[in-house]
């Protein structure tokens, strides 16, 4: 991993030069550490920094002490979130030597508790690219709702290096353009298929029927006691 100052110096500073008491890299580093420690808001960032000040000074500069919660609030509202996420993603990818031969699962989940007033497919959804074997998230993207995953998957693929890996997607991601995108990124795909995609479903059914003598069946228990049987 690169020096933290080099990583966060890649994020454009939106503040007026010469009028800032605190370094942007210091603020971003404290914010990231707070979130990784289950902190939730700007007050938590101040509390984390006060509790860990001695350790923080071995990593960052803090030339004018610990920023206030108002400073954290203003900075995180001003920075370019997409650029910040891209910088973190690039550094995170460097922790893996390569993704060749790895399974990357792309899936969207509604964030529990983030939108308690919404039901069904409404609310805050995060689309994630998860490297199963390494238990490592390569990238994430916010989507407006569950149905917009189709349009967000190509954008997420553009943000991460997937050459030589296998991308798995649920049935919502089984789209011609998404498959073409994965091939263009020099990766393989594993797509779920449902009966409502009639033409393709029938073609796959017929292909497997022709190989019925070579059928293999697995059955196992997965999370929450659910029994899965796959052929």
Query: Residue 102 in contact with residue 134, Cβ under 8 Å?
Result: yes
The answer to pTM > 0.85 is no
Mind listing the pLDDT tens digit of every residue in the chain (231 residues)?
Answer: 456 667 788 889 999 988 899 999 999 999 989 988 889 899 999 999 999 999 999 999 999 999 999 999 999 999 988 788 777 766 666 656 677 888 999 998 877 655 555 555 455 788 899 888 777 888 888 887 666 788 889 988 988 888 899 999 988 888 889 999 999 999 999 998 888 877 888 888 888 888 766 666 676 666 666 777 766
CATH of the domain spanning 98-192: 3.30.420.10
Q: What is the residue extent of each domain of the chain? A: 4-92, 98-192, 197-231
How far is C-alpha 127 from the chain's CA centre? 6
Angle between helix 24-36 and 42-51 (nearest 10): 90
């Amino acid at each position: 991993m690169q020096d933290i100052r080099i990583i966060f110096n890649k994020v454009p500073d939106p503040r007026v030069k010469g009028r800032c008491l605190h370094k942007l890299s210091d603020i971003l580093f404290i914010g990231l550490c707070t979130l990784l420690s289950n902190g939730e808001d700007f007050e938590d960032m101040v509390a984390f920094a006060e509790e860990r000040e001695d350790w923080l000074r071995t990593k960052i500069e803090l030339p004018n002490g610990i920023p206030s919660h108002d400073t954290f609030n203003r900075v995180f509202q001003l920075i370019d979130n997409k650029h910040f996420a891209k910088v973190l993603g690039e550094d995170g990818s460097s922790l893996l030597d390569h993704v060749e031969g790895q399974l990357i699962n792309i899936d969207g989940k509604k964030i529990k508790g983030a939108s308690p007033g919404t039901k069904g497919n409404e609310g805050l959804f995060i689309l994630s690219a998860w490297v199963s074997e390494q238990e490592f998230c390569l990238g994430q993207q916010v989507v407006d709702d569950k149905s917009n995953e189709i349009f967000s998957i190509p954008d997420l693929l553009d943000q991460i290096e997937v050459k030589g890996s296998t991308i798995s997607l649920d049935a919502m991601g089984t789209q011609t353009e998404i498959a073409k995108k994965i091939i263009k990124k020099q990766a393989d795909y594993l797509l779920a298929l449902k009966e409502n995609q009639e033409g393709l479903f029938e073609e796959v059914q017929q292909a497997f029927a022709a190989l019925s003598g070579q059928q293999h069946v697995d059955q196992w228990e997965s999370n929450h006691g659910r029994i899965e049987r796959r052929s």
